[in-house]
Amino acid sequence: MIKIEHVCKKFPNIVALDDVSLDIQPNEVICLLGPSGSGKSTLLRSINALEIIDSGTISFDGVVVDTHNEKQLCDMRTKMGFVFQHFNLFPHLTVLENLLLGPVEVLGRNKEEVKVEALQLLDRVGLKEKADEYVNKLSGGQKQRVAIVRALCMKPEVMLFDEPTSALDPEMVKEVLDVMRELANDHMTMVIVTHEMNFAKEVATRIIFMDEGKIIEENTPEEFFAHPQQQRTKDFLAKVL
């Protein structure tokens, strides 16, 4: 589904991605783990071309992504849901208006048809009664659940999550992770940057551990947490578990 080959990305004074290669298959749940500044979010944003890579290639559904081709980028992004740390909802719109915007304006779908689907998804995440409220009235956990529903309304093939709980108060984290667990159980293809180790252990089909822009280790959750192979991985886990 997604093929990353020899990708490099530099920022001033830092190599964010250093010859990274990774294959992501349909229905996989991949958790990207590692210390801050290891390149996890840069890799995730590169998949969606929010960051433009310096070299290497990224392919989606067998087609190499051409960042100079606006139509191709737009088509690709409609198939990738992206959930950010800070929600990125429109505060001047209601919850439902936020959800309708993409499918109606970008995909050209029937508004009433999308509305039915959006309300069903809101009900699924326990927020149907908030449909007509403005998003600035919601808690952080509620906003993030709306952000996930907004991405799902586009019927994506893959969901990308960039530390979706890092901006939340601890008591709000569970309600967001519960939604993501349900998506994993439904076999949604997901790539998740997270610091939630227990969550990663529970839902991931594969763990990718990064440090200093490189993939240091990848394995099943069981093997990764119980039998880490690299010393850098062992040092990291000793600090976070």
Predicted confidence (pLDDT) per residue in 86-131, tens digit: 888 999 999 999 999 999 998 999 999 999 999 999 999 999 999 9
* pLDDT value of residue 98: 96
Residue 177 pLDDT exceeds 90 = yes
Structure tokens at 27: 């229905």
pLDDT digits (tens, 9 = 90+) for 76-93: 999 999 999 888 899 999
Identity at 117, one-letter amino acid code: E
Residue 163 pLDDT exceeds 90 = yes
Q: How confident is the model at residue 24 (pLDDT cuts 50, 70, 90)?
A: very high
Residue 167 pLDDT exceeds 90 = no
Exposure string over 191-203, b if 16+ CB within 10 A, otherwise e = bbbbebbebbbeb
What does the DSSP assignment read for 82-122? EE-TT----TTSBHHHHHHHIIIIIS---HHHHHHHHHHHH
pLDDT digits (tens, 9 = 90+) for 27-79: 999 999 999 999 999 999 999 999 999 999 999 999 999 999 999 999 999 99
The average confidence (pLDDT) of the chain is 95
pTM: 0.94
Residue 203 pLDDT exceeds 90 = yes
* pLDDT value of residue 170: 87
* pLDDT value of residue 86: 86
Q: How many C-beta atoms surround the C-beta of residue 67 within 10 A?
A: 13
Taking residues 13-21, what's their average pLDDT?
96
* pLDDT value of residue 206: 98
Among candidate residues 147, 144, 169, 166, the one with its CA nearest the CA of residue 156: 147
Structure tokens at 221: 């959750």
* pLDDT value of residue 49: 95
* pLDDT value of residue 171: 85
* pLDDT value of residue 89: 94
Place of tokens 């709980």: 165
* pLDDT value of residue 241: 86
**DSSP H/E element including 79:** none
* pLDDT value of residue 46: 97
